[in-house]
Amino acid sequence: MRSLMLPLVLPLLLVSASLAASPAHALPVAASGWPDVQGGPAHAGYQPRAGLTGAPGLVDWSLGVKPSRAPIVVDGALYVPETTTMRKLTPTGERLPFAAGPSWWIGQPVSDGHAVYAVTFAEFGQGELRSYAPSGAVRWSAALPGANSGDNTGAAGGLVVTTSGSQCRYTCAVSTIGAYDTATGHRVWQHDIEGEAGFERPTLTAGRVLWPTLTTVAVPRTSAAAAEQSPAAGWRLTALNARTGAEAWHAAGPGTLQGTAADDSTVYTAGNELCARALTDGKVRWCRADRAYDTVAVSPGTVYATSNGHLLALDPADGRPRWNAGIGTDPVHPPVIAGGMVMLHHSAGDQSALLVLAAKDGHRLSETKLGPGLPGMLTVAGGRVYAVHDYTGLVALRP
């Protein structure tokens, strides 16, 4: 799990109630757009209706905008956050009217198809959760408790959930999660969780809100005073009932969680090891401790994870590798799966590149240089792939 200082990349999220059929591991069906980071509330990274007819290797257009987070696509329009404001674009890059006024800072947007949701700040410590109409008009706003918000926002079953610190500025021993009605902004439930919210997004399924926090764990010292303990970085993954906010289970360990993704029955976590846990009770189904893992994504029947310059495809039932492809670098952001392809935005020498591999066996289909810039999240919709250079540009590719 990456702890980033405000206002760096801080993801948010949204939900879909329908499920795609799959024999053992169903996934929420993503809309034809891309209304959330990693395409859906479970952050699976899977888009079955992306409209791609082949490997996206041609640059369709690029803009010198300064996206601070990932664009989302709703009803064919792109919403691009730019630190203090948000712009709305056509799929071909033309600007559309969007009336949202500037803020001191605006977070990662998400949508439920009816509205766009984002955390905004008038100034540091004065956070609001806002609901925007497609025109940019504010439908409602809700003040967030605490002086620190991690921009960790998502939506599930008519609720928007977000987190804030308990009157703390940079680090929090306890973080607060609140759920708000998407129609009115009324707070439905609130829950305190051990640890600092950091800037990690929640992973949402039909019945669970899964939230990673930064904690400290007691680690034995190697000195003669072996009985003494010293604090070290640790993680806690808390699973809440999506309707009531009550804790269902939690898992914890040393080190950091780099990412989570879920299907309808299992949550997969990447960190010092890659693990699969049951959504209902957190029971460990399997773990791979052979290496550290950087990111994770899941499609029906396959888990994808990056580690030490490699992309691995794994059996979701037991974690056994199906194929292992060298990718050269370790991407910061998870892969995206669409059209029978796995796509990664990574560093390639002095440029970033979109790397496309076949989902079936991992062979390379294309690698397209995108110019200098820090690789950001991928957005896939309407036959195009949108690649962000954090704070410097947006590139649209097509087959």
163 compared with 335, residue with greater pLDDT: 335
Distance between CA atoms of residues 318 and 128, nearest Å: 42
Return the pLDDT at 229. Answer: 52
Q: Is the pLDDT of residue 18 over 70?
A: no
| Domains of the chain, residue spans | 19-214+233-398
Strands (E), 77-228: 77-81, 86-89, 95-96, 105-106, 110-111, 116-121, 127-132, 138-143, 149-156, 159-165, 174-181, 187-194, 203-204, 208-220
Closest CA to 106 of 62, 141, 145: 141
Quote the pTM value. 0.87
Closest CA to 276 of 254, 302, 255: 302
Name the range with the highest mean pLDDT among 116-130, 197-211, 321-335: 321-335
Each residue's pLDDT tens digit, 370-386:
999 999 999 999 999 99
* Secondary structure (DSSP) of 359-389: TTT--EEEEEEEESS-EEEEEEETTEEEEEE
Each residue's pLDDT tens digit, 131-147:
999 999 999 999 887 65
User: Region 54-83: what's the mean pLDDT?
Assistant: 94
If pLDDT is split at 50, 70 and 90, which confidence band does 28 have?
very low
Each residue's pLDDT tens digit, 306-355:
999 999 999 999 999 999 999 988 888 999 999 999 999 999 888 999 99
User: Region 68-75: what's the mean pLDDT?
Assistant: 92
Each residue's pLDDT tens digit, 223-271:
454 445 556 778 999 999 999 999 999 999 888 888 999 999 999 999 9
Distance between CA atoms of residues 353 and 198, nearest Å: 28
Closest CA to 328 of 357, 303, 299, 302: 357
Distance between CA atoms of residues 20 and 303, nearest Å: 16
- The dotted CATH code for 19-214+233-398 is 2.130.10.10
